[in-house]
Structure 1
Amino acid sequence: MRAMSLCQLCTALSPVHLRTCNCKSKVLCKVKPEKTKTFSSLRVKMHLTWIWICLCWLCSAVVYGGKVLVFPVDGSHWVNMKVIIEELHSRGHQVSVVRQTDSWYIKETSPFYSSITIDGKSGFDEDFISSFVAQLLEIQREGKSAWMRFKLEMEQAQKASEFHVKSCKILEKIFETKELIQPMQEAKYDLVLTDPVIPVGIIIAHYLKLPLVFNVRWTSHGEGHFSIAPSPLSYVPVTGTELTDKMTFFERVFNVVVFAFNKYQIAVNILPHYTSLTKKYLGENTDYISMFQAADLWLMRVDFVFEFPRPTMPNVVYMGGFQCKPAKPLPQHLEEFVQSSGDHGFIIMSLGTLIGELPCDLADGIAAAFAKLPQKVIWRYKGSRPTTLGNNTLLVDWMPQNDLLGHPKIKLFVAHGGTNGVQEAMYHGVPILGLPLIFDQRDNLLRIEARGAGKNLDIFSMNEDIFFQGIHEILSEPSYRMNMQRLSRLHRDQPLKPLDNALFWIEFVMRHKGAAHLRTESYRLPWYSYHSVDVMLFLAGIILVILGTSTFMIKCLCSLCLRKKTKRD
């Protein structure tokens, strides 16, 4: 709740017009009532009474905004973190955002936060991401094979390892630079809000001993649920497997193998970077994975309309679609363009913030398919203009995606499968033609396809005709739109808006200095205790002792009986 000054309270409550207010702070002010002979003594007494009421109310009811230290991740992750930051600011909280000098989306100056800029490079800039994505796309165009998949995983693991090396350098710089760490200690923040894809904020929060809140879908070592909640591999698919919660025996075998491979990747490519650093600054007994599990609150950017049902924990708060909102009017040039589509409506296509262009042959095939359609098309594309582009297609560098998805003439969303775009399409009830490219996009779109609300194509084996047929199928088959609108109704049918729910729990952590009562203590257990291996061995030992003792006693009895029989004979 934002603090309100006494002069604002008095102005709101008093029936007497106040001419002057010498307010010197948000807490104390001196109010001088207008001196005029027309006021009766009764009005003056009433005025003093109102001031006394205001003072009493102020002492008992004013709550001051908290101080939040934010460690975000750049790119599309910043887009949704910014939504929370702006809402925190609107509620009177002070927000400080830690960024690097090469930050791509995170600006140094903003009306919503003050920035703490670290003189160093995160490596997460537009040029690096563009070249990295181009590499991944080139590998996938070699064709579907186990070797291609292995190369893809190795390339992603190598780049992830490079990111973690740079993260460690950023952490060392913060710890070793007094001008950085000391102001963080002296600022008396109420909590740290971070995206755990990069663990810098987590380690700093533990160092400062501050409550920790995650804005999370992914951590540095995989999907968030696998870090905190029980995840039975019999019906919880591992990200990257492209499986649903209904698996055959061999799919379950594949799921377990991928899970084990991911654990190996984490042990080899992530943990070694942080072991010595965390021991140096946080103590010898610090465990990297346990720091994640010790977070007070996990604000999960999904809900169970989108995600497959699975076990969860009390400190996981689901806020899927929190960035979605009702559509606003379009800019005039876009409104005129979509209105010119008539009854046919329009289609939008976007491949997200990381993928601005495609290989020329792919872009030409997509443009040629669009040119055959009666619908108008708005395509967010930064590459060279395709040679086959039709008059019905408008290329833009940026578009108000949420507002276009909420327009009554929208027919279809051609998307790469990023979490933000999928959630916005679901919120507005727009079916999706998926063109997954990298990272988690295939798994996101699989969840939409499994619910009959979209169709996915393999962009690397796709041609003009396949793409055109995919669009035609979704536009001509009503079930796709009906299923997506059903998901939209389920998603919207909540007692609280996802963003309001998330902000309530952030402020809950501020008010109570953490949420330890919601946090499982499983992270304090060694793996053999967590999985009850020690208990099973103990019980197995007791059974063996009982069986051994019983066997020994039976042998003794048999031996005794044999001796007696021998004597009789």
Structure 2
Amino acid sequence: MAYDPFTDADIVTRYAPDKPYTTIREIALKAEISIAETDHILDYPQSTLPNTKRVGGFSVSDAKPLPQDIKSFVESSSRGVAVVSFGGGDIKVPDHIKSKMATAFQKLDLNIVWKTNWSSEKEDNILALNWIPQNDLLGHPKTKVFISHCGTNGQYEALYHGVPILCLPIFGDQFYNANRIYVKGFGLYADIRVITAEKLTQLIQQVADDSKYRTNIQKASQIFKELHKVPSKEAAYWFDHVMKYGGDYMRSSGQQIPLYQFLLIDVIAFLLAVVIVFTLVVCLILRVCCRRLKKSKLKTA
């Protein structure tokens, strides 16, 4: 579990003002159950304790009908649609990069639904809005590619609906997420700060047209749906279960081990002691042997 003293202090102050010296780490160690918004289908395999349940994709759901203006724009495309969203990170994207993105989008034969607060010259194939129904757009059969900063919610929504991703990370864990998408064959990633408009157009078209990305993520989507059904309900089930039966039977005694045991300092100290004792015994034996050999030589002399 990552520990950020500043963020943790803010959370504790807000939700537990009567315990100002408690940290999120301490709370996590005492928790009967932890719900981690991650999943081995999208993430790499990880070892977890029995009371840590990996349930990724709280925001996913089946697609709902689109608003009429967006629906008309989406269904007017003969080649398909690209959904573009950087979430709240859109404000962190400089205007010159957004201009570069718009130039790339204009060259595509796809319709672009773009969540952005940036205004530019109107293009026939670009619909720029301050808000978009992202999950519903990703669930539309016309959607061919999702262009994203690789935030957690967007990744799981794309996974749920089986839409390949072009990742353009901006900060934080988004770079890790983008590399993970590439390794698993669910899409590609690029550095939006240095990529040219021409190269961006090429990558978008590649992810949209190359069937291997769609095949990979649609297979993963089927597995995800079969395993989790509705992630939010699965998380609710575990909370209800622990409230009803308690979670002591899932807790590991290893959560409370002292730091010196966690770092294996006691084991290392024991092994060092064995080595030292063994070395001393060998030295003592050699010393005794040398003395006896020396005495026998003196007698023969």
Partner of 2:226: 493
Are 2:287 and 1:555 equivalent residues in the alignment? yes
1:357 & 1:546 partners in 2: Cα distance? 62
Q: Does 1:371 align with 2:103?
A: no
Equivalent of 2:149 in 416, 419, 430:
416
Question: How far did residue 373 of structure 1 move?
Answer: 2.0
Amino acid at match of 2:158: A
Instruction: From 33, 56, 59, give the equivalent of 1:320.
Output: 56
Q: Deviations over 1:194-216 (max 9, x none)?
A: xxxxxxxxxx5xxxxxxxxxxxx
Mapped pair 1:425 → 2:158: yes
Partner Cα separation in structure 2 for residue 171 and residue 319 of structure 1: 23
Q: Aligned pair in 2 of structure 1 residues 553, 163: CA closer, same or farther (>3 Å)?
A: closer
Deviates more, 1:449-458 or 1:530-539: 530-539
Correspondences of 1:231-270 after superposition (within 5 Å): none
CA distance in 1, matches of 2:192, 2:257: 45
Corresponding position: 1:508 with 2:244:
no
1:386 to 101, 120, 124: 120
SS in 2 for 1:399: coil
Determine helix, strand or coil for the equivalent of 2:88: coil
Distance 1:321 1:477 in 2: 26
1:360 and 1:386 in contact (8 A); partners too = no
- In structure 2, distance between residues paired with 1:495 and 1:414: 25
CA deviation vs aligned residue, 1:255-300 (integer Å, no higher than 9, x gap): xxxxxxxxxxxxxxxxxxxxxx52xxx6xxxx87444333221211
Count matched residues.
299
Q: Structure 1 residues 167, 554: CA separation in 2 closer, same or farther (over 3 Å shift)?
A: same
Q: Identity over aligned residues, as a percent?
A: 31
d(CA) in 2 for partners of 1:329, 1:288:
40
The alpha carbon displacement at 1:368 in A equals 2.1
Give 1:161 deviation, angstroms.
6.7
Report if the CA contact (8 A) 1:348-1:379 is conserved.
yes
Residues 469, 313 of structure 1: alpha-carbon distance in 2 compared, 3 angstrom cutoff:
same
Q: How far did 1:522 drift?
A: 2.9
Q: What is the TM-score normalised by the length of structure 1? A: 0.49
CA drift at 1:430: 0.5
Q: Is the 8 A contact 2:228 2:234 kept in 1?
A: no
Within the alignment, does 1:407 sit opposite 2:140 as a pair?
A: yes
SS at match of 1:355: helix
CA distance in structure 2 between the partners assigned to 1:485 and 1:325 by the alignment: 16
Report the CA distance between 1:397 and its aligned residue. 1.5
TM-superposed CA distance for 1:308, in Å, is 1.1
CA distance in 2, matches of 1:289, 1:320: 21
Query: Deviations along 1:404-453, whole A, 9 cap, x unmatched?
Result: 11111111111111010011001111011111111111111111111121
Superposed displacement of residue 380, structure 1: 0.7
Q: Distance in 1 between matches of 2:227 and 2:25?
A: 33
Looking at structure 1, the residues matched to 167 and 219 of structure 2 have their Cα atoms a distance apart, in angstroms, of 19
1:59-100 CA-to-partner distances (Å, cap 9, x unmatched) read xxxxxxxxxxxxxxxxxxxxxxxxxxxxxxxxxxxxxxxxxx
In the alignment, is the contact (CA less than 8 A) between 1:363 and 1:386 conserved in 2? no
Distance in 2, matches of 1:326 and 1:288, equals 34
C-alpha spacing 1:167/1:474, structure 2 compared with 1 (3 Å): closer
Aligned counterparts, 1:460-539, within 5 A: 460-494=193-227, 497-512=230-245, 514-539=246-271
| Secondary structure of the structure 2 residue equivalent to 1:395 | strand
TM-score normalised to structure 2 length: 0.89
| 1:300 to 2:36 alignment | yes
Unaligned runs of 5+ in 2: none
CA separation in 2, counterparts of 1:517 and 1:490?
Answer: 29
Shift of 1:336: 1.5
Would you identify which runs of 4 or more consecutive aligned residues in structure 1 move more than 4 Å?
A: 160-172
Report if the CA contact (8 A) 2:61-2:230 is conserved: no
Q: Does the residue aligned with 2:131 lie in a helix, a strand or coil? A: coil
For 1:359 and 1:558, how far apart are their aligned partners in 2? 80
- Which structure is larger by alpha-carbon Rg, 1 or 2? 1
Partners in 2 of 1:563 and 1:456 — Cα distance? 78
Shift of 1:553: 3.3
Of 378, 398, 408, 2:131 maps to 398
Alpha-carbon shift at residue 171 of structure 1 (Å): 7.2
Matches within 5 A, 1:170-319: 170=14, 174-175=17-18, 204=19, 277-278=20-21, 289-319=25-55
**Alignment of 1:347 onto 2:77:** no
1:347/1:532 CA distance change after superposition, 3 Å: same
Are the equivalent residues in 1 in contact too, given 2:12–2:24 (CA < 8 A)? no
Q: Is the 8 A contact 2:8 2:24 kept in 1?
A: no
Quick one: distance in 2 between partners of 1:536 and 1:363?
55
The alignment status of 1:456 with 2:192, answered yes or no, reads: no
CA gap 1:413/1:544 in 2 versus in 1, 3 angstroms: same
Instruction: Tell me which residue corresponds to 1:86.
Output: none
Aligned partners of 2:24, 2:224: CA distance in 1, in Å? 35
CA distance change for structure 1 residues 560 and 412 in 2, over 3 Å: closer, same or farther?
Answer: same
> Residue deviations 1:86-123, cap 9 Å, x none?
xxxxxxxxxxxxxxxxxxxxxxxxxxxxxxxxxxxxxx
Q: Which one-letter code corresponds to 2:278 in the other structure?
A: I
**Contact in 2 for aligned 1:357/1:382 (Cα 8 Å):** no
- Check conservation: 1:321, 1:498, Cα contact below 8 A: yes
SS in 1 for 2:223: helix
